[in-house]
Structure formats: C-alpha cells, structure tokens
Amino acid sequence: MKVEATIGKNMQPLLRVENLVKRYAKRSLAGTPEEFLALDGVSFTVFPGTTLAVVGESGSGKSTLAACLACLESPTAGSIWFEGREITKLEERACRQVRPQIQVIFQDPASSLNPRWSVMEVLAEPLILQRKFTREEIDRRISSLLERVGLSPDIVERSPTELSGGQRQRLAIARALALEPKLLILDEALSALDCSVQAQIANLLVELQGSLGMTYLFITHDLAMAAHLADEIAVMDRGRIVEQGQAQKILKHPEQETTRQLLAAVPRLTLAPPLLEQ
C-alpha cells in the first residue's frame, strides 16, 4: 500500500487480507447467546521481504488475526490471499500445502516446546511429518538450522527445559524455519524475554530477513520494538485497524487517539547525552 517507496510497484504481495471478520459466539450468564466481534473488517497487504507490525492493547484482536492467517481458525467472512491464492476456503488437503509456508512463533517458548523431547526431536518432527526427507537429510538440515539461529550443535541431546529463555526462543525460531516458510508470524515473540535477550533475538530476526528474505508479521504491544523492526505499522483497536502506514511516519505523526495512547504508554529511558556519543 504505502511501501512503494522501497518495493517495486509491480511486485506481487505475499499476503493480502481483505475485510476479514471473525465472530465468536459466547453465552452470557443468563444463557442468551451473544456475539463477540474479534475482527471487524481488517484489510492489509504485506510484500515479500518486509515486516508489518500489528500493535494494539490486549484484547484488540491481534492474536485472533494471527490464528486466522496461520489457518488455525477459519474467519467468519473476508478473504486471505497468500501468494495470489485464496486460502480461507481451501479444503483440508490443500490447506496442508499452505500451512508449512506460514509459521507461527508464540510468546512463551517454554510452553510451546515439548519438555519431554530433546532439541533434536523438536526440530526433526516437522521434517518427519513432511515424509519427503531421508534420515541423513534430516540430520543435515537440523545442523544447518541450529547454525542459522546461533545455537551450538552440542545441545541436540538436551531437553528444552535445560535451555535458557533466549536459547529456547532461538529453538522455536529454528523449528519454525525448518520447513522453509515464506511468512513468519511472531505473536508477541519477544515479550516474555529479558531486555538483553530481546535485543539478541531481534538482531537474529533482522539477520534472517537479510539472508533468507523472510517476511514477518510482528504482533506486539511494544511500540519501540515495532518501530525498530517494522517497515509498516498497523494499529489495532477493538478488532479494527485504526491507523496504518510507514513505521516512522506513524510514530512521529500519529493521527488516532489509540496510537497516541499507545505511544504515551511506552516506558522511556532517556540516556544522558555523553553516553550516547560513546
């Protein structure tokens, strides 16, 4: 949409979402059925090799959006085009071809990795499920994945519980990359990590975008990190995108009240000038 400045105009969008609606049925205490509109007409476009950050408060519909895009939830209305193909109405068989290309990384690496498996098993599972790799090829891929995310090969026998928070999130990224996806959805993937580890993982994401041309949908409530990683920012409020555009533009000239409130809530550290010059 507004990324023409950096991306060629004739480039095909990787992901195009149009008027996406997700309604959840809920029942009030009295038993009368009520409806909850988690997504209320969401539209956007993401070009290959770029990052779109979706920011908003908790409950604004960010995670529902992620679930719909990853084919984990089916939207009530609207359409999602992935590489020019409508994926909301695909049958299960066709869906299986699309899913490996869209991978999700969740907030808490500790609860998204099986604690009873070794690092080796965690990484081998997606490859085994594809049924097209030999044992040797799987081993080879695992070692190249570990190297890619900066993990030492001698941790393959360990269980994820024996890894530090940063190592676990690196492992989650390695698992997501195993099937060579085109789109990575990062659902609050940095929020549960320490500040110093957040910086390491953010750098890894930038590095992977450079080397593999990855496309990211970065879902977060941390505007500062969104500003650092994203080309474009979409601000969500109660299921709608209220403002969208180039990251720096949105931050410098926010037009909506929601954006201004989010900006005001970012805790800021103002370092004294002499330190910045060092």
Partner 1 sequence: MIAILEIQDLHVSYRSSGGGLCPALTSVSFGLMPGEIMGVLGESGSGKSTLAGSLVRLLPANARITRGAVQFEETDLLRANADELRQIRGRRISLIFQEPSLALHPTMRVGEQVRQVLAAHDSLGKSALNEQTRQVFDQVFPEEADRISHSYPHQLSGGQRQRVLIAQAIACGPSVVIADEPTASLDPTTQMEILGVFRNLREKLGLAMIFITHNPALLCGFADRVLVLYAGKVAECGPAETVLASPRHPYTKALFHSIPTVFDRPGNTRKTKLPAILGDSARSSLPIQGCPFEPRCTERMDTCKEREPTRVNLSASHTVSCFKYES
Pairwise CA distance, residues 36 & 25, whole Å: 6
Told to check if 110 binds partner 1 by CB under 8 A, we report no
46 in contact with partner 1 (CB under 8 A): no
Q: Which of 239, 243, 241 is nearest to 260 (CA)?
A: 243
Which of 224, 238, 240, 242 is the binder for partner 1 (CB under 8 A)?
Answer: 224
Residue from 58, 134, 152, 211 that binds partner 1 (CB under 8 A)? 58
Residue type, 151: L
Q: Which CA distances in Å does 120 have to 10, 127, 141, 146, 156?
A: 42, 11, 11, 10, 5
225 contributes a contact to partner 1 by CB under 8 A: yes
User: How is residue 116 written in tokens?
Assistant: 């009873």
3-state SS assignment for residue 91: coil
Report which residue type is found at 174.
A
- Taking CB under 8 A as the binding criterion, the range among 39-47, 57-65, 71-79, 120-128 that sits at the site for partner 1 is 57-65
Q: In this chain, which of 151, 173, 189, 222 binds partner 1, going by CB under 8 A? A: 222
Question: For 202, phi and psi rounded to 5 degrees?
Answer: -60, -40
Residue 192 CB, nearest distance to partner 1 (Å)? 8
Q: Between residues 88 and 107, which has the closer beta carbon with respect to partner 1?
A: 107
The whole-angstrom separation of Cα 202 and Cα 247 is 16
Q: Does 194 bind partner 1 (CB under 8 A)?
A: yes
199 binds partner 1 (CB under 8 A): yes
Using the minimum distance from each CB to partner 1, give the nearer residue, 55 or 138. Answer: 55
For partner 1 (CB under 8 A), the number of binding residues is 48
Nearest to 12 by CA among 100, 104, 85: 85
Among 63, 198, 244, 259, binds partner 1 (CB under 8 A): 198
Rounded CA separation 21/42 (Å): 7
Binder among 208, 212, 227, 242 for partner 1 (CB under 8 A): 227
Binding site for partner 1 (CB under 8 A): 57-59, 164-167, 194-200, 202-203, 206-207, 209-210, 221-225, 227-229, 231, 247-248, 251-252, 261-272, 274-276
